[in-house]
Amino acid sequence: MIQIERLEKRYGKFQVLRGVNLSFDLNQVVALVGPNASGKTTLIKCLLGMVIPDGGSIKFAGNDIEGDVTYKRKIGYMPQIGRYPDNMRMGYLFEMMKDLGRTRTEGQFDLELVEAFKLGEMFRKPMRALSGGTRQKVSAALAFLFNPDVIILDEPTAGLDPLASEILKQKIRKAKVAGKLVLVTSHIMSEVEEIAEKIAYIVEGEALFYKSIAEIKTETGASKLSQALFHLLQ
């Protein structure tokens, strides 16, 4: 579904991505893991067309995304911190997004998270009145709203209460069963172990390895992913 070849990005003298090669298919959940400032967010922004790489290529469903915007219709994105107009009511935000993206779904919207998070009860509230956790719920619901083939979630459970976190993780599992590709960034290895099958470990702008969690555990003999990664990175 997505092929990344020799991707590079530089900001001044700082090389953020150094020839990254990765390939992601449908029907799987992949975790992008690595230390802070490793290049994960820049990689995601390149996938979304928000950052133009300095070298290499990204292909979506076999087509180069350079100069193309149509592929974005098949991607849902949840940022780590969602920023919305303070005075806009939540209900209006969802209606506006539906109107803007109606051609993406032919009117078939995925409202499962809206219902599971009980967001409808807060539709009259302005976005400025919402807690950080509720904003996260809004961002998650918007990411799935158009029933996209690819869902990219940046630290999705940050700020969520345990119940909301479990609801979202169940939604991610359902998306995988439905044949979608879900890319998740997270620093919580227990969470990664629950939902992901493969890990792309990125450090200093390079994909150090890209393996299944089962393979990582077998190589290290560790029972927990966090322990396995510790041994693997020594």
Give the chain's domains with CATH numbers. Answer: 2-232 (3.40.50.300)
Whole-number pLDDT of residue 112: 96
Q: What is the pLDDT of residue 37?
A: 84
Mean pLDDT of the chain: 91
- Structure confidence at residue 76 (pLDDT): 94
Kindly state the average pLDDT of the residues 143-155: 94
Question: Stretch 21-27: mean pLDDT, rounded?
Answer: 94
Q: Would you state the pLDDT for residue 147?
A: 92
- According to the model, what pLDDT value does residue 232 have? 82
Q: Is the pLDDT of residue 107 over 60?
A: no
* pLDDT above 80 (res 28): yes
The 10s digit of each residue's pLDDT in 161-205 is 999 999 999 999 999 999 999 999 988 888 999 999 999 999 999
For the cut 70, the answer to whether the pLDDT of residue 106 exceeds it is no
> What per-residue confidence (pLDDT) applies to 70?
87
Long-range contacts of 43-52, Cβ-Cβ distance < 8 Å, separation of 24 or more: 43/4, 43/7, 43/17, 43/202, 44/152, 44/154, 44/183, 44/185, 46/7, 46/9, 46/17, 47/2, 47/4, 47/75, 47/152, 47/183, 48/72, 48/75, 48/77, 48/152, 51/9
pLDDT for residue 138 is more than 80: yes
Query: Which residues make beta-bridge pairs with 89?
Result: 126
For 148-162, 197-211, 215-229, which range has the lowest pLDDT when averaged over its residues? 215-229
Look-up of token digits 């032919």: 106
Average pLDDT over residues 96-106: 75
Q: From 31, 2, 20, 26, select the one nearest 156 (Cα to Cα).
A: 31
